[in-house]
Structure 1
Amino acid sequence: MFNRPRMHRSRPPLPGSASRRTVLWPFVISLTVVLMVSAVKQEDFKTCAQSGFCTRNRAYAELASGTPDWESPFRLDPTSLQLEDGVLTGDLIHAPTSSSSSAESGGALNAGYTIEVHLLDSDAVRVRMNERDPKRRRYDGLQKSVLVKPLVSSTQYDQLGRDEDGLFTINYGSRRQNSARIRFAPFQIEFLADGVSTLVLNEGGLLKIEAAQVWSDVADTRTRTPMERRLEQGMWSERFKDIIDTKPRGPESFGLDITFPDIEDVYGIPEHASSLSLKTTRGPGAQYNEPYRLYNLDVFEYEIDSPMALYGSIPFMLGHSKDKTAGVFWMNAAETWIDIEKIESTSGSSRRTTRTHWYSEAGVLDLFVFLGPTHRDIFKQYSSLVGTTALPQSFSIGYHQCRWNYISQKDVIEVDAGFETHEIPYDVLWLDIEHTNGKRYFTWDPKQFPDPFDMQLHLANKGRKMVTIIDPHIKMDRGYHISKEATDKSLFVMNNHLKPFDGWCWPGSSQWIDFENPRAKDWWASQFSYDRYKGSTNTLFTWNDMNEPSVFTGPEITLPKDAMHYNRVEHRSIHNIYGAMFHAATAQGLSTRNETLQRPFVLSRAFFAGSQRYGSVWTGDNKASWEHFEVAAPMLLTIGLAGLPFSGADVGGFFGDPEPELLTRWYQAGAFYPFFRAHAHLDSKRREPWLFGEPYTSQIRAAIRTRYSLLPFWYTLFQEASMDGVPIIRPMFFEFPSDEATYRMEDQFMVGEALLVKPVTTAGATQSEVYFAGNEKWFEFYDGQVKQGPGVQSVSSPAYKIPVYQRAGTIVPKRETPRRSSKEMENDPFTLVVALDSKGEAYGRLYLDDGESYEYSRGDYILREFKVQGSVLTSRSLNRQESETEWSFIRRYSSLKVERIVFQGLSEPVSRVVIDGRPTVVESWHDVAGKQHVVIVSRANLSIGQDWSVSLS
Structure 2
Amino acid sequence: MRALRFICMAGALIASSFAYCFANNKIINRHSDGITVKTSSGLVRLKVVDDRIIRVSATQEKDFADSKSLIVLPTGKKTAFTVSEVKDSVFVATSELKAAVAGKSGAVTFFDSQGRKILQERDGGRRFVPRTVDGTDAFSVTQSFVSLDDGEGIFGLGQHQANEWNYKGKNEELFQYNTKVSVPFIVSTGNYGILWDSYSLCRWGNPTDYSQLGEVFTLYNKDGKKGTLTGTYRASDGKTIVREEPQIYFEHLIRGDLSHVVNLPHDFKFSGSKVVYEGEIEPKETGVFDFIHYYSGYQTVFIDSKKVVDTRWRTAWNPNSYKFSVSLEKKKRVPVRIEWEPNGGVAYCGLRVYAPVDDSRKKQMTWWGEMQDMIDYYFVYGENMDDVISGYRTLTGKAPIMPKWAMGYWQSREKYNTQKEVLSTFNEFRRRRIPIDNIVIDWLHWKQDSWGSHEFDLKRFPDPKGMVDSVHAMNGRVMISVWPKFYTTTEHYKEFDRNGWMYKGAVRDSIRDWVGPGYLGSFYDAYAPEARKLFWSQMNDHYMPLGIDAWWMDASEPNIRDCIDIEYRKDLMNPTALGPADKYFNAYALMNAEAIYDGQRGADPDRRVFLLTRSGFAGLQRYSTATWSGDIATRWEDMEAQISAGLNFAVSGIPYWTMDIGGFCVEDRYVAAQKEFNKTGKENDNLKEWRELNTRWYQFGAFAPLFRAHGQWPFREVFNIAPENHPAYKSIVEYTRLRYNLMPYIYSLAGMTHFDDYTIMRPMAMDFTYDRLTYNIKDQYMFGPALLVAPVYKYGARSRKVYFPENSRWYDFYTGEMTEGGRTVDVDAPYGRIPLFVRAGSILVAGGDIQSAAEDSSEPLTVVVYGGRDGEFTLYEDEGINYNYEKGKYSKILMKYDEATSTLTFSGREGEYPGMKTVRQFNIVKVAASDPVGNAIRAKGKIVGYDGSATQVRL
Q: Which has the higher strand share?
A: 2
Give the total of aligned pairs.
749
Q: Does 1:167 align with 2:86?
A: no
Candidates 780, 783, 799, aligned match of 1:748: 780
Question: Per the alignment, do residues 398 and 122 of structure 1 end up closer, same or farther by CA in structure 2, a change over 3 Å counting?
Answer: farther
Aligned partner of 2:369 in structure 1 is 360
Candidates 456, 459, 463, aligned match of 1:451: 463
Aligned partner of 1:339 in structure 2 is 205
Candidates 402, 420, 425, aligned match of 1:410: 420
Q: Secondary structure at the match of 1:433?
A: coil
Question: Per the alignment, do residues 904 and 495 of structure 1 end up closer, same or farther by CA in structure 2, a change over 3 Å counting?
Answer: same
Aligned partner of 2:46 in structure 1 is 117
Aligned partner of 1:9 in structure 2 is none
Q: Does 1:184 align with 2:196?
A: no
* CA-CA distance at 1:248 after TM superposition: 4.4
Where in structure 2 are the equivalents of 1:284-303 lying within 5 Å? 291-298=171-178
Q: Secondary structure at the match of 1:455?
A: helix
Q: Does 1:132 align with 2:61?
A: yes
* CA-CA distance at 1:147 after TM superposition: 1.8
Q: Distance in 1 between matches of 2:197 and 2:571?
A: 19
Unaligned runs of 5+ in 2: 1-22, 208-286, 289-358, 671-688
Candidates 848, 855, 864, aligned match of 2:893: 864
8 Å CA contact 1:386, 1:609 repeated in 2: yes
8 Å CA contact 1:329, 1:369 repeated in 2: yes
Q: Distance in 2 between matches of 1:123 and 1:851?
A: 33
* CA-CA distance at 1:943 after TM superposition: 3.5
Aligned partner of 2:635 in structure 1 is 625
* CA-CA distance at 1:535 after TM superposition: 5.6
Question: Per the alignment, do residues 271 and 810 of structure 1 end up closer, same or farther by CA in structure 2, a change over 3 Å counting?
Answer: same
Question: Per the alignment, do residues 833 and 500 of structure 1 end up closer, same or farther by CA in structure 2, a change over 3 Å counting?
Answer: farther
Aligned partner of 1:853 in structure 2 is 882
* CA-CA distance at 1:564 after TM superposition: 4.1
8 Å CA contact 1:689, 1:700 repeated in 2: no
Q: Distance in 2 between matches of 1:212 and 1:618?
A: 34
Deviation string 1:290-348 (CA, Å, 9 cap, x unpaired) is x411111236xxxxxxxxxx2x211111222xxx32211101010101216999xxxxx
Deviation string 1:225-249 (CA, Å, 9 cap, x unpaired) is xxxxxxxxxxxxxxxxxxxxx7544
The two structures have a TM-score, normalised by structure 2, of: 0.74
Unaligned runs of 5+ in 1: 1-75, 95-112, 214-245, 282-287, 300-309, 344-349, 908-924
Q: Distance in 2 between matches of 1:488 and 1:339?
A: 43
Where in structure 2 are the equivalents of 1:494-513 lying within 5 Å? 504-505=512-513, 508-513=519-524
Aligned partner of 2:536 in structure 1 is 525
Q: Does 1:842 align with 2:846?
A: no
Deviation string 1:878-921 (CA, Å, 9 cap, x unpaired) is 63xx3xxxx542xx2223633411111176xxxxxxxxxxxxxx
Where in structure 2 are the equivalents of 1:733-882 lying within 5 Å? 733-817=765-849, 819-825=850-856, 829-838=860-869, 841-869=870-898, 870-877=901-908, 879=910, 882=911
Aligned partner of 1:732 in structure 2 is 764
Question: Per the alignment, do residues 441 and 601 of structure 1 end up closer, same or farther by CA in structure 2, a change over 3 Å counting?
Answer: farther
Aligned partner of 1:79 in structure 2 is 26
Candidates 361, 366, 388, aligned match of 1:378: 388
Aligned partner of 2:722 in structure 1 is 692
Candidates 645, 649, 652, aligned match of 1:642: 652
Q: Secondary structure at the match of 1:527?
A: helix
Q: Secondary structure at the match of 2:363?
A: strand
8 Å CA contact 2:570, 2:585 repeated in 1: no
* CA-CA distance at 1:160 after TM superposition: 3.0
Q: CA RMSD in A?
A: 3.1
* CA-CA distance at 1:380 after TM superposition: 1.9
* CA-CA distance at 1:769 after TM superposition: 1.7
The two structures have a TM-score, normalised by structure 1, of: 0.74
Q: Secondary structure at the match of 2:879?
A: coil
Name the amino acid aligned to 2:44. Answer: I
Deviation string 1:337-361 (CA, Å, 9 cap, x unpaired) is 1216999xxxxxx999930221111
Q: Distance in 2 between matches of 1:588 and 1:543?
A: 16
8 Å CA contact 1:640, 1:727 repeated in 2: yes
796-805 vs 264-273, greater mean Cα deviation: 264-273
Aligned partner of 2:310 in structure 1 is none
8 Å CA contact 1:462, 1:821 repeated in 2: no
Q: Distance in 2 between matches of 1:934 and 1:720?
A: 21
Name the amino acid aligned to 1:415. Answer: T
Name the amino acid aligned to 1:786. Answer: M
Q: Secondary structure at the match of 1:700?
A: helix
Deviation string 1:244-268 (CA, Å, 9 cap, x unpaired) is xx75446721111123411433211
* CA-CA distance at 1:737 after TM superposition: 0.9
Q: Secondary structure at the match of 1:598?
A: coil
Aligned partner of 1:947 in structure 2 is 950
* CA-CA distance at 1:590 after TM superposition: 3.3
8 Å CA contact 2:40, 2:106 repeated in 1: no
Q: Distance in 2 between matches of 1:575 and 1:865?
A: 45
800-809 vs 123-132, greater mean Cα deviation: 123-132
Question: Per the alignment, do residues 122 and 821 of structure 1 end up closer, same or farther by CA in structure 2, a change over 3 Å counting?
Answer: same
Where in structure 2 are the equivalents of 1:385-424 lying within 5 Å? 385-424=395-434
* CA-CA distance at 1:460 after TM superposition: 0.9
898-907 vs 369-378, greater mean Cα deviation: 898-907
8 Å CA contact 1:327, 1:369 repeated in 2: yes
* CA-CA distance at 1:826 after TM superposition: 6.1
Q: Secondary structure at the match of 1:665?
A: helix
Deviation string 1:792-826 (CA, Å, 9 cap, x unpaired) is 22222111211111111111111122x22111236
Question: Per the alignment, do residues 717 and 276 of structure 1 end up closer, same or farther by CA in structure 2, a change over 3 Å counting?
Answer: farther
* CA-CA distance at 1:272 after TM superposition: 1.5
8 Å CA contact 1:430, 1:466 repeated in 2: yes
Deviation string 1:349-398 (CA, Å, 9 cap, x unpaired) is x9999302211111231101123232122122221001232210000011
Q: Distance in 1 between matches of 2:396 and 2:891?
A: 27
Q: Distance in 1 between matches of 2:906 and 2:182?
A: 42
8 Å CA contact 2:878, 2:890 repeated in 1: yes
Q: Distance in 2 between matches of 1:332 and 1:820?
A: 44
Candidates 710, 716, 719, aligned match of 1:679: 710
Candidates 305, 312, 316, aligned match of 2:185: 316
* CA-CA distance at 1:721 after TM superposition: 1.3
Aligned partner of 1:722 in structure 2 is 754
Question: Per the alignment, do residues 568 and 691 of structure 1 end up closer, same or farther by CA in structure 2, a change over 3 Å counting?
Answer: closer
8 Å CA contact 1:776, 1:837 repeated in 2: no
Question: Per the alignment, do residues 504 and 809 of structure 1 end up closer, same or farther by CA in structure 2, a change over 3 Å counting?
Answer: same
8 Å CA contact 1:597, 1:854 repeated in 2: yes
Q: Distance in 2 between matches of 1:680 and 1:132?
A: 51
Q: Secondary structure at the match of 1:293?
A: strand
Aligned partner of 2:583 in structure 1 is 573
8 Å CA contact 2:865, 2:925 repeated in 1: yes
* CA-CA distance at 1:516 after TM superposition: 1.9
Q: Distance in 2 between matches of 1:945 and 1:506?
A: 59
Question: Per the alignment, do residues 280 and 851 of structure 1 end up closer, same or farther by CA in structure 2, a change over 3 Å counting?
Answer: closer
Question: Per the alignment, do residues 727 and 356 of structure 1 end up closer, same or farther by CA in structure 2, a change over 3 Å counting?
Answer: same
Aligned partner of 1:5 in structure 2 is none
Q: Does 1:426 align with 2:436?
A: yes
* CA-CA distance at 1:941 after TM superposition: 5.0
8 Å CA contact 1:524, 1:589 repeated in 2: no
Name the amino acid aligned to 1:252. Answer: F
Aligned partner of 2:737 in structure 1 is 705
Q: Distance in 2 between matches of 1:567 and 1:546?
A: 20
Q: Distance in 2 between matches of 1:636 and 1:554?
A: 24
8 Å CA contact 2:414, 2:442 repeated in 1: yes
Deviation string 1:556-577 (CA, Å, 9 cap, x unpaired) is 3774348545656112211111
Aligned partner of 2:445 in structure 1 is 435
Where in structure 2 are the equivalents of 1:109-258 lying within 5 Å? 113-133=42-62, 141=67, 143=69, 145-150=70-75, 152-157=77-82, 159-163=83-87, 166-170=88-92, 172-174=93-95, 177-193=96-112, 194-203=114-123, 205-211=124-130, 248-249=135-136, 252-258=139-145
Deviation string 1:421-471 (CA, Å, 9 cap, x unpaired) is 332111111111121223234210111111111111111112101111001
